A and B are shown apart, each in its own frame.
Chain A
Amino acid sequence: MWKAIFYKEWIKTRWYFVLALLLTLGFAGYCLLRMNRVIVFQGPAHLWEVMLSRDVIFIDLLQYIPLLVGILMAIVQFVPEMHHKCLKLTLHLPYPALRMVMTMLLSGLALLVFCFVSNFLLMGIYLQQVLAPEMTKHILMTALPWYLAGLTGYLLVSWVCLEPAWKRRVINLAISVFVLKIFYMSSTPEAYNSFIPWLFMYTVMATSLSWLSVLRFKIGKQD
């Protein structure tokens, strides 16, 4: 059954997934092109000096892209589901509801992780050619909270979308905004290094929030 659910979710999100992959790779590629342009016009030494003497990482443009991609993934996956009342049918399938919801979330997460890992691979492969490993790590570790925000954003917006009552939806949305704000509290590179394991743990745990909304949906909560 889980394969069928995965397939159903894939059918729903495949075009968006292609768009998200192209968008994130496009932005990551553009950031790398800008770095390459600095190297061509001013030399690699200039790039190194700027990075070492100032808090510059050259990929700031990417900051909110993973979050946007994650939020849109949740909207694409769950808004039509709720709008067309498909969730009711889905939950009536002969499969445990909890496993069903988790499989749906997992399919969305898997696509996002694929998207984000491809970004990291692209950046990692390019950066290690032109920069010392310490500098490559500096850039990628700075970007990691942004990508975690993308995954958390997906899970929190899924929780909001699956919520049947508007009042509670607004409360959930407010909580989500404040939680996501935590991922963007400093522009200092590598400021989140010691906090990343905790953010990762919260992201994993945030998967369970959607279950609250689905249970409320099942018992027929409405405004």
Chain B
Amino acid sequence: MLRFSKILFYTTLVLLLVWQLPWCYNFLTSKPTKAPFVLYSSVLGDFILTGNEDGTGIKRRDLSGNEYTQREVDSLLPTFYYRQLMTDERFPDTLQGVPLTVRALQQENFNFRITPSDVNHPYIPLYPLLESMSGRVDLAMPDDVFRITKQGIEFIEMANNTVKEEKSRQFTEALLKKGFTFPSTAIAGNPTTRKEYDEGYLVLDANARLFHLKRTKDRPYVRAIDLPEGLQIKHLFLTEFRNKRSLGFLVDVNHQFYVLETKTYDVQKVSIRAYNPEADAITIFGNMFDWTVRITGAEQDEFYALAADDYSLIKKYEPQKPEKSLAQKLGAYLFPLRLSFTSSSDKYVKPRFH
């Protein structure tokens, strides 16, 4: 027993040191990183980097190093700074031959951001299915939530915590009729009333087939979505952007990124190298001409400019990998083994050795 107690004592001590010493070192030596804000300018045909440069304040440059003033950048990025341009009465009538209005810009602009911790986190597998055609301007939360089991879809009435048998049967039959195999393996939706319209959920069934499920006039709407041959989807994101062009974003098992079109349910491959939602963060600033996609991996960022109509690659920018500081190099030498319990990539607490 004495030997066991001693082993436990020293093991605890070593683990605490491996955990706390590198943490203290990082806490004392870490410095803020100055990643610039990057957007693609269709006017310039290049990325514009806005960032704080050491000792000289905020600088705005293109990839060739040409410097621009804030006023120039407003004009180079009219879809992003349209409010400023309106205020200055500099808002262009047309861009690339397309007539521009503020309303059209607002309709087409969108931001999309998903971090690994949005994907890797614990959740309750219950989902509210909003009425998508209520006839009212505002969306309303339903009085029930659903779960998908091996047997079917079950709606539970929140007021009395009981299963709504009739509604559950109706939706289960609708799903089965379209070839759905229970249970589901992934469900994606935006269950909130703070949006302009509702598209329900994208659901992957037990055979990895993709379905679109929503509630229209209190009846089930189920659509089996044909995926290109060999495409195995792993991650789903329902977009519900204002322009209603895309229904969702899909990522397959090989980390390829796809856009699912709303009306046709066509799946379009996006020309970016790879995106793993479990490890990388993605930010998309979209407008009617182009998308600026930023993929933030563990090591460095990648920026892509894509054509908004066919998602083809316009330009790619891969910033130079920031050089490790002396403190970081020394830290790696001093602490070859590190223990942490939390991570910025997920919301779980578990031991991780680096």
Contacts and interface: CB of A to CB of B under 8 A. Distances in A.
B5 A134 contact: no
A206 B8 contact: yes
Main secondary structure of the interface of A (DSSP, over half): helix
Nearest to B122: A190
A46 to B, nearest CB: 9
Contacts, number: 100
Interface string B1-12: 110111011001
A35 interface: no
B13 to A, nearest CB: 6
Contacts of B13: 175
Contact of B124 (A51, A185, A193, A198): A51
Contact of B351 (A130, A179, A198): A198
B121 interface: yes
Contact of A186 (B141, B143, B160, B349): B349
A22 interface: no
A53 to B, nearest CB: 7
Given A209-B5, A212-B2, A134 B126 contact: yes
B349 A192 contact: yes
A132 B67 CA distance: 59
Given A132-B156, A175-B12, A52 B126 contact: yes
Interface residues of A, number: 38
A211 B5 contact: yes
A52 B145 contact: yes
A188 B350 CA distance: 13
Given A182-B341, A198-B351, A188 B122 contact: yes
Contacts of A130: 161
A135 B126 contact: yes
A189 B122 contact: yes
B158 interface: yes
Contacts of B341: 182, 185, 195
Which of B141, B147, B349 lies at the interface centre, i.e. has the most chain A CB atoms within 10 A of its CB?
Answer: B349
Interface in B1-36: 1-2, 4-6, 8-9, 12-13, 16, 19-20
Interface string A146-186: 00000000000000000000000000000100110010011
A33 interface: no
17 contacts: A43-B159, A44-B158, A45-B159, A48-B126, A49-B158, A132-B126, A132-B145, A132-B156, A182-B349, A188-B122, A191-B348, A192-B350, A195-B350, A208-B8, A209-B9, A212-B5, A215-B2
Q: Give the 5 A-B CB pairs with smallest separation, nearest first.
A: A190-B122, A45-B158, A208-B5, A188-B347, A48-B158
